[in-house]
Structure 1
Amino acid sequence: MKPIALAILNWNGKSLLEKFLGKVIDDSPEGEVIVIDNASSDDSVSWIQQNHPEIRIIENNTNTGYAGGYNEGLKEIKHDFVVLLNSDVETTPGWLAPILTRFQSDDSIAAIQPKIRAYNDKEYFEYAGASGGFIDSLGYPFCRGRIFGHLEKDEGQYDEAMPVFWSTGACLAVRNSAYQECNGLDPMFFAHMEEIDLCWRFQRSGYTCWVEPKSCVYHVGGGTLDSLNSRKTYLNFRNNLVLLTKNLPRHKILPIIFSRLILDGLAGIQFLLQRKPKHTIAIVKGHFHYYGMFNKIMRERSGQFPWPLTGVYQRSIVRQVFLGGLKNFSQLAQSSFVRTKTVVDRK
């Protein structure tokens, strides 16, 4: 058995499989390609069977979303390492070997992402993960190469492999034993930020998350919900609050949530000024639904809650961008990032 599997979650995605699956197979001789089908109603499964009979298909009985689909699928995948690969990712020759080498170099590594460029503008980083994910003191995620909506051109400025706070779910390579130990992805998120939650829990358990820019792929993006969809706004704001409540030390939760209430209110006003009232309503709904979930989340918290962790920017990225005019990751003071030493002993 090959040491690494490439698990592609599919739901009615025949057109994407037709476009990208063949290249994934050609570019990935080190891995076994597996498709996890989330109860598709199109003919994507039969298309795979007819055109790529060598590919193993795991068929889920129901569509349980991104998190649930992968959790079910990985119960049947026994490889040491698994890449959770979006069906809208174009791979490149040799992309998988650096990830496998990085995993084998350090048992403390639980997650690795490649460098992610935009499929539709290949000189630029892609929104979903760019060259590694970080988070600021108030819980706003951003990337090396992408801060809020600003995407940088990839000129090799972020080609250093390094530990990060989170690795993107668009192409998330995980150590299978760590994934199972940390109970996998949380279905509560439905979509958006579930990989940040997983990586946060990896770090809380003593593992590290990395970006390996020697590996590069291209991501189409927007496959679940595009940026103009108010449902995406709702999920982003709600899930960010859930993320913080699940993982922050208890004494940090209320002060940060109060700060976010103010800042998210300002974001809602900005949407109104832009004549996007549906997005303002989405933010309000996200907050009220989160408040309804708060007690349940607090009851289910368990484990250790160290803070800050590797990849935390100890200032406010909102302040740096909207008051300081910052656009690029390289303009941030690198001394403000946390880099902790992680020790994992599983013997």
Structure 2
Amino acid sequence: MKTCAIVILNYNGREMLKRFLPSICQFSRYDIWVIDNASTDDSVAVLSQDFPELQLIQLSENFGYAGGYNWGLEQLKGNYDFYILVNSDVEVTRNWDLSLIDFLQKNKDYGAVQPKILSAQNRDSFDYAGAAGGFLDSLYYPYCRGRIWNVIEQDQGQYKDTIEVDWASGACFALRADEFHEVGGFDAHFFAHMEEIDLCLRLRRKGLKIGFTAQSTIYHLGGATLDRSSPRKLYLNIRNSLRMIYKNEGTLVFWWIFLVKAGMEFAAGLGYLITGKPEMFSAVFDGYWDFLKSRRLVEKIKFPESKPIKKGPVDLIFWHFMILRKKYFQDL
């Protein structure tokens, strides 16, 4: 069995592949695979002509982030000890992959680890997606060291450590291959967004930890698939977040969280209406409605001796950010 497969998911990412694959080819020590989600551009031709050394898995249709990785990694099952999943819009640096795998090899109680993620556009700033490690508040709202809501910190060496976090960013993280398959991979119903947090919760339910290490650094462009202001992304985030919470919480706790989140998110939806963005209000409504229609099909987490999920260090990130005006992680 080989040590690690670096796996990149692609969908109509011709320009991303041409821009970012050279750094991955230059600085990576492990096997590189590309899973193509039935692209309709000439991505596959670009891979064949410009990167013939890479190994390709072609899927029959676009299964999204979650389904695409599930189907592709199923073909690699049993061949590697570890996977590094990395977006197609990521630039890597020297020893980025060795550092991630070295962390997991030395820390047997960790199921996954992410690198320090900086912005490819503003290279002295953290990236929105993951930054220096992600956390969840009591309502399961995600935030990061280096990014809370829409405020992004500059990288001034304040997070040059190795720590345990709540979740690792889907932009780039390494994990144990057998654990990925044992917990069922990504929830394919998510299609895209929040699926890495859901996976991390299931790993943690098994008693595994999630890590961040600044020994590995990457640069992420972000928004290559959906812009953060996209109604489609808002819809997916809301629907998938509710599905994730429903799977992980008891009935009474879930409905308490549901009501609080609904009040906050529909208030935000009214704000969208007032400012002339009805499509964003529709995204909020559709996210809740689609979850309610399908919730009976969602299976609760059922691991033997399932471990409780601790969240923190903040109970309500909204309160600290909006009311107490704490914009940076070190102020929390």
Report the more deviating stretch, 66-75 or 299-308. 299-308
Please list the CA deviations of residues 22-55 of structure 1 after superposition, one character each: whole Å capped at 9, or x if unmatched: 21011112x1111111122222222222222221
Please list the CA deviations of residues 8-28 of structure 1 after superposition, one character each: whole Å capped at 9, or x if unmatched: 111221211111112101111
Aligned counterpart, 2:199? 198
Please list the CA deviations of residues 176-211 of structure 1 after superposition, one character each: whole Å capped at 9, or x if unmatched: 011011110011111110000000000001111111
Aligned counterpart, 1:167? 168
Mark the CA change 1:109 to 1:252 in structure 2 (over 3 Å): closer, same or farther.
same
Superposition RMSD on alpha carbons, in Å?
1.6
The one-letter amino acid paired with 2:102 is: T
Equivalences for residues 108-187 of structure 1 within 5 A: 108-187=109-188
Report the more deviating stretch, 271-280 or 250-259. 271-280
Aligned counterpart, 1:341? none
- Give the whole-Å Cα distance in 2 for the aligned partners of 1:2 and 1:177: 13
Identity %: 39
Aligned counterpart, 1:344? none
The one-letter amino acid paired with 1:139 is: Y
Does structure 2 conserve the Cα–Cα contact (< 8 Å) formed by 1:249 and 1:305?
A: no
Aligned counterpart, 1:338? none
Query: How far 1:277 sits from its partner (Å)?
Result: 2.2
The one-letter amino acid paired with 2:137 is: D
The one-letter amino acid paired with 1:160 is: D
Q: Number of aligned residue pairs: give it.
A: 329
Aligned counterpart, 1:44? 43
Please list the CA deviations of residues 96-130 of structure 1 after superposition, one character each: whole Å capped at 9, or x if unmatched: 22111101112221111111111100111111110
The reply on whether 1:20 has 2:9 as its aligned counterpart is no
Equivalences for residues 142-291 of structure 1 within 5 A: 142-291=143-292
Does structure 2 conserve the Cα–Cα contact (< 8 Å) formed by 1:132 and 1:164?
A: yes
Aligned counterpart, 1:74? 73
Report the more deviating stretch, 313-322 or 131-140. 313-322
The one-letter amino acid paired with 1:144 is: R
- Give the whole-Å Cα distance in 2 for the aligned partners of 1:230 and 1:164: 29
Query: How far 1:266 sits from its partner (Å)?
Result: 1.9
Normalized against structure 2, the TM-score is what? 0.95
The one-letter amino acid paired with 2:211 is: W
Aligned counterpart, 1:96? 97
Aligned counterpart, 2:326? 326
